């Protein structure tokens, strides 16, 4: 499936059916596993990429070059449409134009930009500040105009809730809708009542961010659908599970000096070979007599 076909698929799915559940992916192992389970979309998490690729917090360290290369690899290696975190657009309005064009060329089906000041912060931590409303409106207008494929979705996120209150966040999201955003992302509402108010106040598809240990209540996809959301992302679930599993496995190995005592379930080696694509290599070898 081409990138354009994936974008059409995501845009159609946005308008029909239950809420889209998009697990967070942060490397090619997580992306391949999630893709193999048949999700309607995948979410490339900036937090996860910064942690897995750079070993640094989600605090503006990842560059456009860092992120765009991960977009390309994940989009090329999976069948599901990819919603890709682009932080603040990596600069001003001119940078946003370059970012959208770069992400589109890399294969993203949706590009998410946010209204934080640079350097940005994870949306469920403190210390976030937002840029002037007019500046973000310009960024959204530029993002919508920059795409060459009209099916590329522009996701506009506001981080105003924590520092400025829910009213300000809703007003900003409404302005971003007017500027051309296809999906609105009001980050970190702090109750189901706030989530409901967000959905009732805005006339564009809404995205919910389900972060374990974050500021927003964790509710089921079915409940999110009832509240009025169209997309639910789970950016941290995968890397938190992976980190917990690795800490347990490596801790056991350090204590015992053997992997036989590991209690965490291990992916079967044969299944992992298939998941990562070795069957294609073996088929090639049988056809062309390639060396191992």
The tens-digit pLDDT sequence of the chain (292 residues) is 899 999 999 999 999 999 999 999 999 999 999 999 999 999 999 999 999 999 999 888 899 999 999 999 999 999 999 999 999 999 999 999 999 999 999 999 999 999 998 776 665 666 678 999 999 999 999 999 999 999 999 999 999 998 899 999 999 999 999 999 999 999 999 999 999 999 999 999 999 999 999 999 999 999 999 999 999 999 999 999 999 999 999 999 999 999 998 999 999 999 999 999 999 999 998 899 865 4
Alpha carbons 265 and 2: distance in angstroms, whole number: 35
Q: How far is CA 91 from CA 107, 126, 236, 279, in A?
A: 21, 21, 25, 43
Alpha carbons 184 and 177: distance in angstroms, whole number: 7
269 CB-contact burial (10 Å; exposed 0-12 / middle 13-18 / buried 19+): exposed
Alpha carbons 277 and 272: distance in angstroms, whole number: 9
Please choose, from the candidates 181, 3, 6, the residue with its C-alpha nearest in 3D space to the C-alpha of residue 105.
Answer: 3
Residue 60 pLDDT:
84
pTM of the predicted structure, to 2 decimals = 0.94
Residue 290 pLDDT:
63
Residue 289 pLDDT:
81
Q: Domains of the chain, with CATH numbers? A: 3-242 (3.20.20.60), 262-292 (no CATH)
Q: What number of other Cβ atoms are within 10 A of residue 169's Cβ?
A: 26
Alpha carbons 15 and 156: distance in angstroms, whole number: 17
DSSP string, 116-144: BPSSP--TTSS---B--HHHHHHHHHHHH
Residue 117 pLDDT:
84
What strand order describes the sheet that includes 42-44? Answer: 183-186, 153-158, 110-114, 82-85, 42-44, 20-25, 231-234, 207-209
SS3 233: strand
Please choose, from the candidates 257, 224, 156, the residue with its C-alpha nearest in 3D space to the C-alpha of residue 19.
Answer: 224
Tokens at 48, concatenated? 């996860």
CB neighbour list of residue 234: distance below 8 Å, 6 or more residues apart: 21, 22, 23, 24, 43, 210
> What are φ and ψ of residue 185, in 5° steps?
-130, 95
- In 37-196, DSSP assigns E strands to 42-44, 82-85, 110-114, 153-158, 183-186
Residue 12 pLDDT:
97
Bond preceding residue 161 cis, omega within 30 of 0: no
Alpha carbons 106 and 173: distance in angstroms, whole number: 27
């Amino acid at each position: 499936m081409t990138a354009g076909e994936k974008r059409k698929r995501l845009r159609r799915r946005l308008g029909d059916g239950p809420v889209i559940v998009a697990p967070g992916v942060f490397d090619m192992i997580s992306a391949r596993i999630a893709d193999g389970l048949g999700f309607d979309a995948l979410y490339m998490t900036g937090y996860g990429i910064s942690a897995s690729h750079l070993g640094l917090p989600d605090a503006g360290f990842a560059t456009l070059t860092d992120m765009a290369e991960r977009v390309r690899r994940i989009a090329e290696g999976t069948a599901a449409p990819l919603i890709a975190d682009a932080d603040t657009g990596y600069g001003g309005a001119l940078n946003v134009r370059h970012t959208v064009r770069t992400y589109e060329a890399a294969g993203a089906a949706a590009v998410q930009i946010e209204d934080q000041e640079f350097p940005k912060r994870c949306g469920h931590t403190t210390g976030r500040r937002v840029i002037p409303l007019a500046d973000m409106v310009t960024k959204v207008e530029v993002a919508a105009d920059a795409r060459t494929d009209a099916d590329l979705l522009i996701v506009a996120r506001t981080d105003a809730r924590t520092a400025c209150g829910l009213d300000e966040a809703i007003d900003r999201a409404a302005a971003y809708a007017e500027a051309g955003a296809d999906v609105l992302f009001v980050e970190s509402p702090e109750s189901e009542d706030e989530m409901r108010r967000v959905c009732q106040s805005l006339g564009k598809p809404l995205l919910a961010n389900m972060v374990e240990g974050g500021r927003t209540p964790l509710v089921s996809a079915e409940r999110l659908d009832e509240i009025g959301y169209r997309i639910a992302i789970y950016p941290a679930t995968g890397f938190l599970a992976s980190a917990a599993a690795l800490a347990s496995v490596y801790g056991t190995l350090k204590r015992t000096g053997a992997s036989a005592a590991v209690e965490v379930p291990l992916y079967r080696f044969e299944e992992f070979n298939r998941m990562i694509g070795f069957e294609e290599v073996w088929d090639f070898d049988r056809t062309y007599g390639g060396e191992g």
